[in-house]
Structures are given as structure tokens and as C-alpha cells.
Structure 1
């Protein structure tokens, strides 16, 4: 490897990872609000509503980080994919998938060069890993990473 090769730094994926994490949180808010309306009993609807509030706070934090980093935050989509079945087991599986998606996004964000983004990514990954376990999933050794 030449000195010229060493002087070229890899591109910073922080802004793209931040956008991905924000998109995952938009989808989680939408999904939990849907589950809160479609869930079978009051306890299920209450838990989904509380989780939606958590994801709204995370979404708002990522939005603020985007603005502070000079990244134009993408708005939420008008709609997101939803499960075909509305029973609690299908909704649980759907919500687990949303949590796994947020874990993957936060894992990517935790590798950002910017300290604030990296810290937000690491904290978000820790919290997502807890939600995955609470949702019945297995976070694995490195939550957010698919096994090879």
C-alpha cells in the first residue's frame, strides 16, 4: 500500500446511517400506532401506544440530530407495509421485525465518525436490543447484524 493509498480516507457513512435510523423510527411509529388500533385487548393496545411514544421520542431526537448535522431529514412516508393478519401473534411478529430493523439502523449509525451520531447509534442499539428481547426475539452476539 502506498502513502497515497493511506492518505485517502473512507467516506463517512454517518449522514446515510442517520437517515436510515430516522426512516426506521418513522416506520416503527407507524407500525406501533397501527398495532395499537388493531390489537385485541386493552392491555395490548396500551403497550403498543406506549411503545409508539418511545419511538416518537427517538424519531424526534434523530430529526434534531439531522438538523444539527446539516442533513435534510426525510419526512415520514404516507404509508408503510403492514401485516396481512390482525391477530396478536401476527402483530407481535410484525413489531419484532420493526425492532430488528431499528437495531440494524442503529448499529450502522454507531459506526459514524461524528461523536454525537456514534453515541446516539450506540445508545439506540442498546435500547433496540432490549426491545427485541422483550418482544421475544434473539438479539445475538451483535444485535443489528445478520449472521453470515
Structure 2
């Protein structure tokens, strides 16, 4: 077998973005203003504080509402506390309220993780409904602040919105409907002339091309997945996912065209990350594709201007939910490295 091309590997998500792209996506907006004697206030501070406040309300919910049987409430609360720490990073200690202390019930045993097929959500209970609603409310608050945040914080907010939606699913809430990709007229700036894209730079177009390439690969991959699954509900799920990725692919093609660039074509074939010879292999491939796409879309949130961030964030969320359905373990920070495992950047 011939070694895959670099673009093919990038599309499959086996390559990380180049250092210059990541730096462009995650550039912090802090730093000394011209002529100033010290660092200027962080413009993201109000957004961070709102996100911390919303997270504190969720933590209080875990301290007052018991988790249902079979759900690791303590684990979900611990992840939420990690989210709070990431959101508060860089804020002055005097500006951040003290976090809630665990005082109430977070009972429940850890749930069993599916490994051979799509997961089945437990039926919601009254207690589950309360915690799940709080999780979804927190996710919505993060999405509402995407456009007000700097690129790096927007990326984190999109990841945490997906994480809280995963928490709600673990608590038994039905998954939200998949986000409908916008039409070309909704995505493009009607005031732009051909070849011009006000507010959209080269880094954003590159990130859009990366997302398009990843969707090309996902469409190819789901063709392999569907061919290895029996004619049962799992194959139906694969067909649904295949159609969703086709729609996303078409969305990015239209948007890139509207920005005056030529959409990258699909490759004739793609190198799979491992042999797919059985239904179990097909399920694992589907989970792999969706998990890798969460990273692509997290980077896209950071790279594109505000009007397109929500589209990318909802794509991240949808991929995280599909990965869970295929049996992938939930990630505390879908699509981004765990901030606790990443060395903090120093400022001069």
C-alpha cells in the first residue's frame, strides 16, 4: 500500500494542525497597549466571569440534587469543577468568587461505557431532568458568549458547551436535535464582492479547508463503516451520520466558494487508521472519525470570525454526541487538550 499523502492524513485527523495555524487560532488578546506601562485589562475577563458564574450555579445543582442510580454524579461534578478552573485561568484572584464546596448528594455508580455499538440512553427521571436541564442551560450560556470572546476563549467555550451536552446525555436527557447546516446565503456576507471576504483572513480560510478535508474523509469513512455493519439500527445510525457529514461538507464548500477560494476536492481514497474487517471495527472507526472531528471544529471556532463561530461550535457538539453514541468515552474537554495537562503560557 502506498503511503498516504499529507493532505489525506490531515483530512483523517491523524495530523495536528501546523504550529503556525494553531498559534493563529489561539492567539491571546491580552498584552500591553501601545505606550502603556503595564499589561492592559484582559478583554475576555467579563466573558470568563459570566462563564464562571454559570458554572457555579451548575456546581450548586450537583450539591443539592442527587444523581440517579447508575450515573457517576461525583465524577460529573468533578469534571465541572475542572471546567471552572479552566475558565478562571488568568483572572485576578480577587475577581473570582470562591467555588462552591461539595456539601450535598452526588450519589450514583459510574455508568457502563459501550464498546461494541451505539450507546442507549437511560430513561430520564425527575432528578435526572433537573440536573440535565442545568447542564444544558450552562451549555447554552457558553454558546451565547462565543461572539464576545477572543479566539482562544471561544474555542474553550465551544468545547465546554459540548462537554455539558455530553453530561446531560449521561444524565439521561435526550440529545438535542442535530444543528442544520446554514445555507450559502446565510453563511456568506451579502455585502462582499467576488474574491473579497471582509473580516475573514487567510487563517480562517485555511481552517475551513481543513474542516472540508476532514468532512471529505468522514464521508469516505462512513462508506466503509456502513459496508461492515449488519442491516440493523447501527447501520441506520451510520446512514444518518453519513448524510450529516455530506451536509456539512456541502456547507463548507459553499462557504469557501463565497469567500473567493476554491474548495479542496476529495481524494480518490483515504488511508484508514486501522484495518476494518468486522462490525466491531466499523463501530470503532465511526467513533474515531467523530472524535477526531471534534478537534478540527474546536480549531475552526478559534479561527473563524464571530458570524461563523456558532456553526462550528454546533458541529463540534454534534460530533461529540455521535462519538458517544458509537461508544467513545466522554471527554472532559472535547476537541481541545486538557488545560491541566498543558503548561501555562508565561507572559512578559
The TM-score by the shorter chain falls in which range? 0.7 to 0.9
Deviation readout 1:50-95 (Å, 9 max, x if unpaired): 2111110111111111112223210111101234131111111111
Q: CA deviation at 1:20?
A: 1.1
Looking at secondary structure, tell me which structure has more helix per residue. Answer: 1
Q: CA deviation at 1:21?
A: 1.0
The answer to whether the 8 Å contact 1:109/1:117 transfers is: no
Deviation readout 1:9-32 (Å, 9 max, x if unpaired): xx7631121111111111110010
1:30 aligns with 2:188: no
1:67 equivalent among 257, 260, 279: 257
Residue 87 of structure 2 aligns with which residue?
none
Alignment TM-score, normalising by the size of structure 2: 0.38
The answer to whether the 8 Å contact 1:35/1:48 transfers is: yes
Q: CA deviation at 1:134?
A: 1.2
RMSD between superposed Cα atoms in Å: 2.3
The count of aligned residue pairs is 143
1:17 aligns with 2:48: no
Residue 124 of structure 1 aligns with which residue?
315
Structure having the higher Rg: 2
1:87 aligns with 2:118: no
| CA–CA separation in structure 2 for the residues paired with 1:71 and 1:121 | 19
The answer to whether the 8 Å contact 2:224/2:282 transfers is: no
Q: For 1:75, what is the secondary structure of its paired residue?
A: coil
Structure 1 spans left out of the alignment, 5+ residues: 5-10
| CA–CA separation in structure 2 for the residues paired with 1:139 and 1:58 | 23
The answer to whether the 8 Å contact 2:276/2:282 transfers is: yes
The answer to whether the 8 Å contact 1:21/1:109 transfers is: yes
Residue 3 of structure 1 aligns with which residue?
34
Residue 97 of structure 1 aligns with which residue?
288
Residue 42 of structure 1 aligns with which residue?
231
Correspondence 1:108-119 to 2 at 5 A: 108-119=299-310
Alignment TM-score, normalising by the size of structure 1: 0.84
| CA–CA separation in structure 2 for the residues paired with 1:73 and 1:3 | 39
| CA–CA separation in structure 1 for the residues paired with 2:308 and 2:213 | 15
